[in-house]
Structures are given as structure tokens and as C-alpha cells.
């Protein structure tokens, strides 16, 4: 798994897109070492593309895409994934994914601290430095805990959890040598497991039988 420094060295210009939080954040890492970021609040289907537009670059010049696959806003992440798949169809380029909580865990750098985000149904996405992402019930979350301040939460936050800024530009600057990016053939939102569906057997509707 490459680091951000390696991706920039091998692929710049690199476009980074993150819509996991309430703010869409888009950054362009140029071959000359300069970096520019745009941030927009609001619905990701508008905010992401407004960020791209305001950065004012030629999309055809980008040689690789980097995106947050989650956890976070499923709608925002899937909006980014859809855009990347469309751009790759127009001009094939590699894409690399990173995890939002894993990014924070590496930036914080404290192995005992758990980074959490709402996974609904009274469970939480839980990430520690150097450990795989897990889903943990509220009652089983071990302290200390941090949660990104711009992530939606449907379940009440656990007691004694602290918040931390989800400023992607700052987090990436602190983790530029961390090998936290993985190449993906088809950009998509992260899932703990593939969805399962109940089978349904169709039946022809029949009028009720007349009573004897």
C-alpha cells in the first residue's frame, strides 16, 4: 500500500476527493509540489463538483484519483465514487482509496485511542492505529474515544467521547508517509460486509375460495 508522498511522486497531478463528512473537501496536488484545496458545505452532489470547478484545473491533466471510501456519509461517498467511475471511463487513470477513521488514527498516532463514527442501530465503526476497522456496540466501546466533528450521528454519542476536526488537508499533511492507500479497480463506498437479501417466491394472486 503506497503513501501519499509516493502517490504524488509517481502520479502528480493527483486529485483528492472526500465527501465523508458534512463538508465536501477536494484537493489538487500538482507536480511542482503546490497544493490547493476547496471546501463546500451542502449536498455532496453539488458541493463536490463546485469544489472541482473552483480549483480551476483541466481534469484531463489529472493522472490519479484518491478518495475516501468511508466510513461516513454514504451518499457523499457514493457521489464521489460515481464521478470517479465516469471520469475513468472518459480517460482511464488509477484510483486509490483510504479510510476516514484510519486517516485520523494515523494522524493522532496513539494506539490506545479508538476513532469512532456512527454505524447505526446502536453500533459504531471503530478504528485503532494498526488495527482493522470493526463494528462495535455502544456498550462495548473501550475508552479513550475520538469522533470526527463533522460526521452525522443518529445514535447518541457515548459518554466521555471527544471530538476532533476532520480537516482532510491537515490530516494528510500529518500522514504523508503513512502507507494507508490501496488501489481499487472500481471506486465504491466501503461496506463491512456485502448486503444480503431475503429470497421471495412469487405467487399468483387467487380469489379466496367460497365458503362451504
When the pLDDT of each residue in the chain is averaged and rounded to a whole number, the result is 91
List, as one string, the DSSP characters of 47-104: HHHHHHHHHT--GGG--EEEEEEESS-HHHHHHHHHHHHHHHHHS---EEEEEHHHHH
Question: Is pLDDT at 115 greater than 70 in this prediction?
Answer: yes
Contacts of 145 (CB under 8 A, 6+ apart): 113, 114, 115, 116, 158, 160, 161, 162
What was the pLDDT predicted at 207?
Answer: 60
Angle, CA of 35, 87 and 5, to the nearest 5°: 30
Please give the model's pTM, rounded to 2 decimal places. Answer: 0.88
40-56: pLDDT as tens digits: 999 999 999 999 999 99
pLDDT tier at 33, thresholds 50, 70, 90:
confident
What was the pLDDT predicted at 187?
Answer: 93
- As given in the structure block, the three cell numbers for residue 139 are 456498550
Question: Is pLDDT at 140 greater than 80 in this prediction?
Answer: yes
Section 150-163 average pLDDT: 92
CA dist 187 and 172 (Å) reads: 20
161-194: pLDDT as tens digits: 999 999 999 999 999 999 999 999 999 887 655 4
Section 111-130 average pLDDT: 96
Amino acid at each position: 500500500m503506497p503513501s501519499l508522498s509516493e502517490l504524488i511522486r509517481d502520479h502528480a497531478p493527483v486529485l483528492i476527493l472526500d465527501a465523508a463528512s458534512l463538508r465536501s473537501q477536494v484537493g489538487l496536488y500538482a507536480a511542482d509540489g503546490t497544493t490547493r484545496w476547496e471546501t463546500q458545505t451542502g449536498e455532496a452532489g453539488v458541493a463536490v463538483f463546485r469544489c472541482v470547478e473552483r480549483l480551476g484545473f483541466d481534469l484531463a491533466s489529472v493522472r490519479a484519483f484518491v478518495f475516501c471510501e468511508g466510513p461516513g456519509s454514504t451518499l457523499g461517498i457514493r457521489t464521489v465514487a460515481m464521478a470517479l467511475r465516469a471520469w475513468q471511463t472518459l480517460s482511464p487513470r488509477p484510483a486509490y482509496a483510504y479510510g476516514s477513521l484510519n486517516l485520523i488514527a494515523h494522524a493522532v498516532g496513539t494506539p490506545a485511542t479508538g476513532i469512532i463514527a456512527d454505524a447505526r442501530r446502536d453500533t459504531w465503526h471503530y478504528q485503532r492505529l494498526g488495527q482493522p476497522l470493526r463494528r462495535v456496540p455502544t456498550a462495548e466501546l473501550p475508552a479513550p474515544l475520538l469522533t470526527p466533528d463533522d460526521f452525522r450521528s443518529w445514535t447518541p454519542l457515548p459518554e466521555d467521547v471527544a471530538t476532533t476536526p476532520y480537516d482532510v488537508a491537515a490530516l494528510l499533511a500529518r500522514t504523508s508517509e503513512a502507507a494507508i492507500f490501496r488501489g481499487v479497480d472500481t471506486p465504491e463506498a466501503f461496506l463491512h460486509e456485502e448486503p444480503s437479501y431475503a429470497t421471495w417466491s412469487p405467487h399468483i394472486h387467487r380469489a379466496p375460495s367460497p365458503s362451504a
